[in-house]
Amino acid sequence: MASAVGQCAMPRILLIDDDAQLGPPLAEYFRRFELDLQLAGRPSEGLAKLRSTHFDAAILDVMLPEMDGFALCRLIRKSSDIPIIMLTARGEVTDRVVGLELGADDYLPKPFEPRELVARLQTVLRRQRVAVSSQRLQFDGLDIDLDTHTVSRQGKVVSLTGTEFALLALLAREPGKVFARDDILNHLRGHDAELFSRAVDILVSRLRKKLEPLDCIRTVRNAGYALALARV
């Protein structure tokens, strides 16, 4: 499945929703903002389109035949980092939390204003463009390549596990920001299902040892962890 923002002038968006009354007028509205909205009425149809065609973002309804939008989001996330916005007629906070934990980028309850959906789409597309253009993070003594998942410490390659790399990348994307253990757990859950709160401390300890003599990760008492290096 394609995930990067395409080079075409009009971003292509996939809507997976079984409401036949929603798609056509929404597609016409999207064209006013130079967004090409393609439609799929069933998850199986949507998955087939994602495999065969490049899309810049996907919009998933929660209430779908074959499988619900949460299961669909989980399935898409196994092979793609395409931006995803969830739609649902149910306004429960639980639905929103579940969707975001499964990897959705945003969430909009039905009924919604089309202009708000367009605005949210434009926001996630901008985020994706920044991510695509910034795949290398460089700090004083530390180089992180997000494409190849390689890390160099003072010019020497450091071998990290997938979970260790995911933690370092999380901290490095926002150096100085303090991430609580719960935030780290939610981010890493897809990398290691057995992670628990104490395991975050162990993981940080392992990562610190591998990055020595650099003093990379700062502990903020009763708050969490932050990357303590300056960008170059």
**89 and 187 both lie in a single domain:** no
Tell me the C-alpha distance between 28 and 8, whole Å.
19
Asked whether 217 and 196 are in contact (CB, 8 A), the reply is: no
**65 and 103 both lie in a single domain:** yes
**71 and 88 both lie in a single domain:** yes
**125 and 145 both lie in a single domain:** no
**168 and 77 both lie in a single domain:** no
pLDDT in tens, 48-63: 999 999 999 999 999 9
Read off the pLDDT band of 190 (50, 70, 90): low
Answer with the one of 133, 167, 183 that is the final residue of a domain: 133
pLDDT reported for residue 129: 66
- Domain residue limits at 23: 12-133
CATH number at residue 111: 3.40.50.2300
Stretch 177-188: mean pLDDT: 85
Would you list the DSSP string of 137-152?
Answer: EEETTEEEETTTTEEE
pLDDT reported for residue 1: 55
In sequence order, the 6+-apart residues with CB closer than 8 A to the CB of 41 are 16, 17, 18, 20, 23
**38 and 116 both lie in a single domain:** yes
**19 and 94 both lie in a single domain:** yes
Read off the pLDDT band of 91 (50, 70, 90): low
Is 126 a domain residue?
yes
pLDDT reported for residue 104: 83
Q: How far is CA 181 from the centre of its chain?
A: 19
Is 5 a domain residue?
no
pLDDT in tens, 70-89: 999 999 988 887 889 999 87
Q: pTM to 2 decimals? A: 0.58
Is 1 a domain residue?
no
